[in-house]
Structure 1
């Protein structure tokens, strides 16, 4: 059986723009320009023959067609990701290199060990004590946990409600390159850091 599908890049651009209701934020997530996201969505709309967004001044609103399509496309990407993840679990991966701001934890490795409950930090994380975005930019880190919302131009920053072990801090930003925003190790880190 063959499948008649529109462009995968167009669907990815639409799904990200639909979640964020922003070409700019979708572009940051996908590591492309907002113009590229807009063009991919426009091509998808042409292929489907229907508008997916109302383009307003500085904002997007899903049309009825977009509202119908978005949950199915999001679910399809989640399922593809889960299937790929199941296969990839058999492959060896390297630990996520996480920098933790000294303002959040004096000894981040001991703190993560306590949060994990195993006497040491989990194997999927290599922790270092740093507050330098430059360490992320130069490739010596995969992710950086910092207090405050940013801004972090060109990077993906996600708000994290921190586990009580980080007291008195309750919130931080987990900053990564956009391509790593949904990697398996990062999702595990977010689950470990966050409040249940």
Structure 2
């Protein structure tokens, strides 16, 4: 038994018929198809001749489908939709990659850089999983993680240093308008200190001023570093933050450094991924993240 389809009418004629049936107007059909109105009418006449039935009633100001036309258009539309879906299925689908990060890293470092990446790599579909919970590569379907810590992170994992934790003190220029940065821990107590979950302020004060903080400090605490940074931008106080997280805000004048001191952190930011997971898409993302971190280091003042 032959699997060949039966006799098919002109596929171009069927396409013109579908558009004309949708508009019930040859002029509008011609505008959608980018051909002349006469060409549309000619295609319809040819299809009607080929089928041996009349598909349209030509009324004074519009068209109307005949009974045969109404019955035929439903099957023609289904057939064209099947062809369209089959054609779309032949196109290469974007490669989906899931990146696990902390919420603060995602909002203050990664997301501002994504437009550049997506414009150059339209074949990659990134999914950002922003959570403070340590994601599982298998259970959560994670391809690449940005982790704050110290290696080793686990057996079978590849690791690459993205950037070091360098903590600096920043605030809105409005907060220091007309004044100088506090030179003692007691003077710092006149300002509101913005804390995140790391609570680096006691260590920073001791390192920078050479004394343990004795004064009573006003403070606001946030569970996310990014929220503390946004509060600083809004002029609500001074925040300690990773220099990489606030570099763009400093460059664009939303924040200023008030001390030259840089405090290294107990941990750094690393790219982590399963050794066995090798793909061109994954290597492209790793190389891009590494390059972005390198460019930021080169832009940083010495």
Class of the TM-score when normalised by the shorter of the 2 chains: 0.3 to 0.5
Q: Which has the larger radius of gyration?
A: 2
Higher RCO by CA contacts (8 Å cutoff, separation 6 or greater): 2
With normalisation by structure 1, the TM-score equals 0.46
